[in-house]
Chains A and B, each alone.
Chain A
Amino acid sequence: MSRFASLTQPSHFGGTTSIVQFVQETAPFYDYCRAVPAIPVTAARPWTAELTLEELSKLKQNWDGYGGLPVAPEGCAHARTFVALTPQGMLVPDISPTSNGTVNLEWTSSDGEAYIEIGRTRYSGHIQPRQGETIYLQGQLTNSAEQNLATEQVLAVINELLYGASSPKSFTHSIQIPELAL
């Protein structure tokens, strides 16, 4: 039995935790697999999200006619990070401004909904899975490292709960068993 002395690849965002290592050998097969997802997965629309955020950043005071505050540039920047780090297979969120000058991100799947409100220095929100209790999230976004980490972790949790169980996840074409270096 040949074994490969490599660590199990970190399986980003809810991928397999199998000891065996999964490798996609050919793009055509992968494309074929992606063509039959268990849930509807639309193409990512980062350009649309970028344009939306660009427009949000131009909003003036009283943009909604009810005294709405302009969206904080920091909030827009944080929202861009969320969009940029959205993992493959997960929809880019719907983006909207709030009268408080924050940015709302919203994801919807057959497994539930998630809302994240992003401000200058912090975020808060909740995930409502179709099954189970609502999960409330919040945290600081005070520096870039913290922001990126929080963003990646929040997206991982949303991806797991909204796109995890029924998603195709990683389609595998070849398996190598890594050496158990113990």
Chain B
Amino acid sequence: MIFANPPLVEILAELRWVPGQVSPPMPGTTGPGTIQLPLLSQYIEQTFSNFLNQVAQRGFGMSERLTPPGFPYIPFNVVYRFRKPPPQPGNFLYQIGPGIFTAHALPPYRDWQSFRPIVQEGTQALLASRHDSESAAFTSAKLQYIDLFSEEFTEGRSSFRFLNDILGIKLELPDTISTQALDMGRVQAGLQLSLPLSSGLAMKLRVYDGGAAGKQGIVMTTEVFTLQPTPPEVNRIMQTFDNAHTSIRTTFVGLTERIRAKMRPVTVQ
């Protein structure tokens, strides 16, 4: 089942590692090498150049530099963005920076099966691009969904009501507060949940009032991420993202059951 009218704003798959050129271990030791900071531009730019070539071969031939040349590199901040050139730029793109790679899907989004190959190819491109001294495990892998429930979905409910009536997350105010409220229907509420999962991953769920693309509504971000380093192997990484997707989808489908019809579910053969 997929949704023809999902509240989705964006999906991103993200990998992080410790950037920096690694010097060899000291003679007589077997431990890991030492990372040199500040980052040397020739190493970083070589990784970016390699990645540019790799994703260009996969059709993502248009690049945009988000940080001006010569600006200092801040770890985990993106420097380049890549997407497919016209006439069909598509709704997928990649970003890379020192210690970070992300793959994004924007509306119109179909399903994970259409985005998964993009994530996999981007991951393969990254693994083929990182400088030899940056071949360590990924410190973090994360899949994040951002949804906006606009008026179409909330039907005028406040975030407090939406959490209780639609998402089924029961928030009950004590009398000392509720008796002072002019109108409980206008109470705004935010929510942050952070929970370790039985799969070994962790989930962070946030719900709050917000706006996107000119629409106001209730934003829900659902992210599932690793708690342990992930080996730099594409199959292991994709298995992690698959597990994360399964968890996020289960959460989303369950929470939005009461507004499923508005999302126009379509059964996929």
Contact = CB atoms under 8 A, between A and B. Distances in A.
Nearest to A32: B190
B38 A173 contact: no
A139 B36 contact: yes
Contacts of A134: 31-32
A157 interface: yes
B33 interface: yes
Given A139-B37, A156-B75, A180-B83, A18 B146 contact: yes
Interface residues of A, number: 54
Interface stretch (B172-180, B210-218, B236-244, B253-261): B210-218
Contact of A172 (B14, B33, B104, B208): B208
A180 B78 CA distance: 15
Contacts of A41: none
Given A146-B38, A182-B89, A153 B139 contact: no
7 contacts: A17-B78, A131-B229, A135-B35, A137-B20, A153-B38, A157-B18, A174-B210
Interface in B153-194: 190, 192, 194
Nearest to B12: A18
Nearest to B107: A1
A177 B140 CA distance: 25
A33 B190 contact: yes
A55 interface: no
B234 interface: no
Given A18-B144, A176-B212, 4 more contacts: A33-B192, A124-B34, A131-B227, A177-B10
Interface string A159-182: 011001110100111111100111
B102 interface: yes
A8 to B, nearest CB: 7
Contacts of A174: 210-212
A5 interface: no
A46 interface: no
B202 interface: yes
A37 to B, nearest CB: 9
A161 B72 CA distance: 21
For the complex, would chain A's binding face be called helix, strand, loop or mixed by DSSP majority?
Answer: loop
Interface in A1-54: 1-3, 7-8, 10-14, 17-20, 29, 32-33, 36, 38
A139 B64 contact: no
Question: Looking at chain B, what size class is its interface with the partner chain?
Answer: 35 or more
B62 interface: yes
Interface of A: 1-3, 7-8, 10-14, 17-20, 29, 32-33, 36, 38, 124, 129, 131-139, 146, 149-150, 152-154, 156-157, 160-161, 164-166, 168, 171-177, 180-182
B75 A165 contact: no
B128 interface: no
B64 A152 contact: no
Contacts of A175: 9, 146, 148, 210-213, 219
A137 B28 CA distance: 19
B190 A29 contact: yes
Interface string B19-32: 11001000000011
A136 B38 contact: no
B197 interface: no
B74 interface: yes
Contacts of A7: 66
